[in-house]
Amino acid sequence: MRGDLVINVFLLLLAGYFYKLTYSFKQISKYDVMGPGFWPRIVLVFLMGLIIFAIVIEIRKMIKKVSQEEDKNQKISYKKFIFALVVSFGYFFIMRYVGFVIATLVFQGMFLFVQGVRQVKILILTPSVLTLLLFILFIKLMYLPLPKGIGIFRSFSLLLY
């Protein structure tokens, strides 16, 4: 598969970069002969060896044209994946500005929407109940320091917790 090859080459470059980084660690103790860079180097050499091996196999497969274009997982829609990722990440991102409660309500509604739920009732009810549940569990019982937001949102959060 071409994808495998791309991943392997990418990993190889990354491993090479990390290998270079290991030489920037400083040697401190005279008793620790190996130093902080020794073990990562062993692992990286191993890793690079394995990747090169994998690349050779891939190339041989390509030359021999045994490439069985089997299940390329055509069922996956990258558009949906990106949407889901953006929504979840956005949730975490806005949480520190608008506080936990509001962010969670909005996120849950949007995440349902991304998944193709269009019934307004579900879009409103599920987030309300779920947020309440999470609120009770994590804030009222466990006292987690979840973000309260800033400005007006902070004042709102302070009313609740």
Ranges within 77-96 binding another protein (CB under 8 A): 77-78, 80-81, 84-85, 88-89, 91-92, 96
Q: How far is the CB of 41 from another protein (least distance, A)?
A: 10
Pick from 147, 25, 137, 138: nearest CA to 97: 147
CA atoms of 97 and 5, how far apart (whole Å): 42
Q: How far is the CB of 131 from another protein (least distance, A)?
A: 8
Check binding of 10 to another protein (CB under 8 A): no
Check binding of 117 to another protein (CB under 8 A): yes
Pick from 71, 87, 91: nearest CA to 79: 87
Check binding of 114 to another protein (CB under 8 A): yes
User: How would DSSP label each residue in 11-61?
Assistant: HHHHHHHHHHHHTTSPP--SS-SS-TTHHHHHHHHHHHHHHHHHHHHHHHH
Check binding of 138 to another protein (CB under 8 A): yes
Find the binding residues for another protein in span 24-63 (CB under 8 A): 25-26, 28-29, 31-40, 43-44, 46-47, 50-51, 53-54, 57
